[in-house]
Structure 1
Amino acid sequence: MKFGKADSIKELKGLDWALPKTRLDFPPSQFSNLKIFTGGTMWTIKPWRGSVYPINDPIRTWPKHYGKQFGTIEFNATHYKIYSPEKMAEWANTMPEGFEFCPKFPAIISHYRRFNNCEGPTDDYIKGILALREKLGPTFLQLPPHYSPKQSEKLIEYIEAWPRELKMSVEFRHPLWFDGGRDAERVWSLMSELGIGAVISDTALRRDALHMRLTSPFIIVRFGGYDGHNSDKTRLENWCNWIDENKNSIQSFHFLVHQTNSVRTPQTCIDFAEKCMQTLKIKVKSPVLCQDETSSIDHP
């Protein structure tokens, strides 16, 4: 995740990693069966061979191995291409029970057409994600970095037309979304009214995007890590403590991990899951690393 990423460890010095005060913008409810998921952003990571994946297994088996090791994925593939329902169903069938995809909206909708004349791509996208069936988690709409609240008329029309039965979150990146201005507040209020979530970005140099404003009970956190730097540990602990404090107010928590070239993503997911068990006594699916050259999947 390049958004808010520090180019050097020196830039991390002196940063405040504390989570801001939480603002609950949806009617308070009591939930008793919180589901927590963690995972990465793709499964085509060659350095995972021999640790996350059996070293000799071909690439075509990696989705199944990924599903055995992680509980969710930030499904960026759908940002670059709208896949057929058949292909989406194929991926869903590869994953075990309990796995959830978090598909990213196609860029043709959010970045290129900017919500203009998007009926066709939107219909095709919905058909695709519906094919994931029970494996479909919240889908998230990432706005372009320069998309400000003053441009939000078409966004408002778009989210008002989105099917309410499909969980949707919006990721804001322009700084004016977080400054309390009238145009921004209009969208925030609408999202709360419609039950649309707001993605939380935990990234070093854009702490404003760590807004902690909850407009729905399903939470997506995009975590930008620094390859095992001490700040990663601090931030994981902060998140587990936050979940513990708010566990009765939320239904689901998807913790989507970004690390440099994804090499350390598995270990970060393991660390997060261990802290969840220590703090919350909740088991979170995470990788079991090995040094095994044998395959655990039958294939021709």
Structure 2
Amino acid sequence: MRKRLPPLFTLQAFEAAARHGNFSLAATELNLTQSAVSRQVKQLEEWYGHTLFDRHGPRIDINREGRALLERLSAPLLSLHEAIYADQSNAPQHLHINTLASIADSLLLPSLGQFQTQHPEIELHLQADYQLHSLPPQTPTVALRYVTQAQADLISHRLLDDYLIVVGTPQLVKTLGKRAAAWPTQRLLKHSYMDWSAWASDSQLQQELPQGLHAQGMEINDALLLLRAAEQGLGLCLTRLSLARLSLIQGRLELASPHIVNSPFSYFLEYRQDSAALHAIVAFRDWMQEQATVWQADQINLLETLRLS
């Protein structure tokens, strides 16, 4: 006699919540309310007799039992989905993209429409998150990350290297000048996760900044918001060239120093080995690699323009 199974809708709710790390995003994907997803996950937990997430107010973290279930559940749910739509030529396909908001804003969104035009059969789900979530097995999920090295247990494609620059509004740069040693530290915006020493320790700057550079201005924990603060004239901003590209081209910002430093970080596209053959991932990987050549060419042209100005 077969054992009783939990309701399918509770498994779907759990899988979506675990993949997104968020009940609200899972609700959007499933076309449900957040409270409905929460109730369905709670129902599954009661069926199992233990919790699957650790709850911290609105934030959830999948626990050991939840990760074990996700590992076992993702592939069967995907197989069920494919079996149902196997004979339908218009079967919907999904691609989940996990990245930072700053990466989505500067690289993905300006050109993502091209991918949608080429692949209208693929429905995109873009998740902007600070946390580097583990990728679920055998699912069409990729991560676009700005890191120092690829993750060893994933297939990784290095797409683009980057540069560190200091920018400000034309008016502020004119006021403060382009000598880093003369900048008041109160006008240097701080990023919670990137220290100015990454730029100031460059060998070309050692003579000008023997004591380094210590920002004492407003602290912001998001690279995109940091750039927007600089555009409002709130201070000079240490940022990456790929993120500031459009602001520089449009004249909202300009270089506050001629020193351009290689970033220790690069952009990587990553996904699991057991998901590598999925159509959505293959299509997105090929498009991203083509797009990376465009980004590289644009970056070289912008660097030449900045160095000549």
Please report the TM-score for the alignment, with normalisation by the length of structure 2.
Answer: 0.23
Higher helix share: 2
Please report the TM-score for the alignment, with normalisation by the length of structure 1.
Answer: 0.23
Instruction: Determine which structure has greater relative contact order: mean sequence separation of CA pairs < 8 Å that are 6+ residues apart, divided by chain length.
Output: 1
Q: Which has the larger radius of gyration?
A: 2
